[in-house]
């Protein structure tokens, strides 16, 4: 039986990368009867324990906190290669960007996006320098690259100088728990996070300029003038430029209409999506934009940036806007909430679109990549 090692480090807080890995693990456990998976994970990351069975998924905890990025980088360079030799691993699967300088076995890495090459101030200066060095080196070192959209594939070829046949596009999926919920079933969750209906929703790291949060706040300010009873709910952890975002909220004098509950556990998100009137994502660049698909699956109409991968993920329905055109964003939100027919059309189009993305297909295609090297 072949052994596939999985690097389980996905950062301090579970975001889209962590969700992707967990869903891939669940599906691989269900469909793959020919391989054993060694899941290496941080001592303080208990999220994986429910997937480890000691037979098909074998846990290998290492004594480093998920809150120590430098120690995790060093562990991957010097300790992980020794572990791979010790356990006679056939393939290493790396779902999160990390520096790879020593290759012991066939290696498959997932590069979700090339955001550091597209958004100048996405991260702090040191992290930008590290990623611009680590990502191309990892791409060249790996035997194969998985990415999540055709748009990301083009960027990887452009910035990492790797051949097209080294990259496989595998779209993310959406968990089955993301589905429309009756408002009567979401009230307790909304109350828990101090959210009051009606509200416009955003889910993701709250940063600027990458996620373009200030454009959304400005558009909401315009929309609110004719719709004073609405809240804007920003779900996610603070990111780069968060202090600038806070200053903008104060300058616009709309702090009382904006709710920032911080990081929200996965089990609460379907209710928060379902309770929202509209979901808006105006990122300047994304590899996939998983919250868009989650919102569509929950029956919430979406408005998205017309840049990056969004046309590929959202489709050609009339839901895309120029992320810098504040008036256009505000008008699109108003059009949705004030036109019942249009609103219903967007809801149905979104639910149908979300059906195209499922984790079962993602895992099957990931396993096909592994089988090339076994």
The better pLDDT of the pair 176, 167 is held by 167
pTM score, whole prediction: 0.91
Q: What is the pLDDT of residue 118?
A: 86
* Cα separations in angstroms, 199 against 68, 279, 347: 36, 9, 16
Mean pLDDT of 129-139: 90
- Tell me which CATH code domain 2-173+358-372 carries: 3.40.50.2000
Q: Where are the beta strands (DSSP E) in 74-230?
A: 91-94, 106-110, 144-147, 167-169, 199-203
For the chain, what is the mean pLDDT?
94
Mean pLDDT of 241-260: 95
**CATH superfamily of the 183-354 domain:** Glycogen Phosphorylase B; (3.40.50.2000)
- C-alpha 362/C-alpha 148 separation (Å) is 10
In the predicted structure, residue 318 carries a pLDDT above the cut 80: no
Q: What is the pLDDT of residue 106?
A: 97
Q: What is the pLDDT of residue 115?
A: 87
In the predicted structure, residue 101 carries a pLDDT above the cut 90: no
Q: Which of 78, 61, 69, 122 is nearest to 97 (CA)?
A: 69
**Strand 278-281's sheet: what is its strand order?**
258-262, 231-235, 199-203, 278-281, 302-305, 320-321
Quick check: do 2-173+358-372 and 183-354 share a fold? yes
Burial class (CB in 10 A: 0-12, 13-18, 19+), 126: exposed
Mean pLDDT of 355-365: 96
Q: What is the pLDDT of residue 317?
A: 62
Q: Is 262 helix (H, G, I), strand (E, B) or coil?
A: strand
The domain spans of the chain are 2-173+358-372, 183-354
Residues 6+ apart with CB under 8 A from 170: 146, 147, 148, 362, 365, 366, 369
Which pLDDT band, with edges at 50, 70 and 90, does 105 fall under? very high
């Amino acid at each position: 039986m072949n052994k596939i090692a999985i690097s389980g480090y996905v950062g301090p807080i579970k975001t889209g990368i962590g969700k992707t890995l967990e869903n891939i693990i669940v599906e691989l456990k269900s469909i793959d009867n020919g391989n054993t998976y060694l899941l290496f994970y941080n001592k303080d990351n208990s999220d994986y324990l429910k997937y480890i069975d000691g037979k098909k998924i074998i846990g290998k905890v290492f004594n480093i906190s998920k809150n120590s990025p430098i120690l995790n980088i060093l562990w991957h360079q010097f300790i992980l290669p020794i572990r791979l030799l010790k356990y006679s691993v056939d393939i290493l699967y790396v779902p999160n960007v990390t520096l790879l300088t020593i290759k012991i076995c066939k290696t498959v890495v997932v590069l979700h996006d090339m955001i550091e090459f597209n958004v100048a101030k996405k991260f702090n200066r040191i992290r930008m320098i590290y990623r611009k060095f680590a990502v191309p080196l990892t791409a060249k070192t790996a035997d194969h690259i998985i990415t999540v959209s055709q748009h990301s594939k083009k960027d990887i070829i452009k910035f990492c100088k790797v051949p097209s046949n080294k990259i496989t596009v595998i779209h993310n999926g959406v968990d089955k728990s993301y589905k429309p919920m009756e408002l009567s079933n979401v009230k307790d969750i909304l109350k828990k996070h101090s959210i009051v209906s009606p509200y416009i929703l955003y889910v993701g790291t709250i940063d600027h300029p990458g996620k373009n949060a200030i454009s959304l706040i400005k558009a909401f300010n315009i929309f609110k003038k004719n719709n004073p009873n609405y809240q804007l709910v920003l779900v996610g952890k603070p990111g780069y430029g968060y202090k600038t975002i806070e200053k903008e909220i104060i300058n616009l004098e709309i702090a009382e209409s904006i709710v920032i509950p911080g990081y929200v556990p996965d089990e609460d998100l379907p209710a928060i999506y379902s309770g929202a009137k509209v979901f808006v994502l105006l990122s300047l660049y994304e590899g996939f934009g998983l919250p868009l698909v989650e919102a569509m699956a929950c029956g919430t109409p979406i408005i998205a940036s017309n840049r990056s991968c969004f046309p590929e993920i959202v489709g050609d329905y009339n839901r895309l806007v120029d992320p810098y055109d504040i008036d256009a964003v505000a008008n699109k939100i108003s059009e949705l909430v004030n036109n019942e027919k249009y609103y219903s059309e967007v809801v149905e189009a979104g639910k149908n679109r979300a059906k195209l993305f499922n984790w079962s297909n993602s895992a099957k295609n990931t396993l096909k990549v592994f089988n090339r090297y076994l």
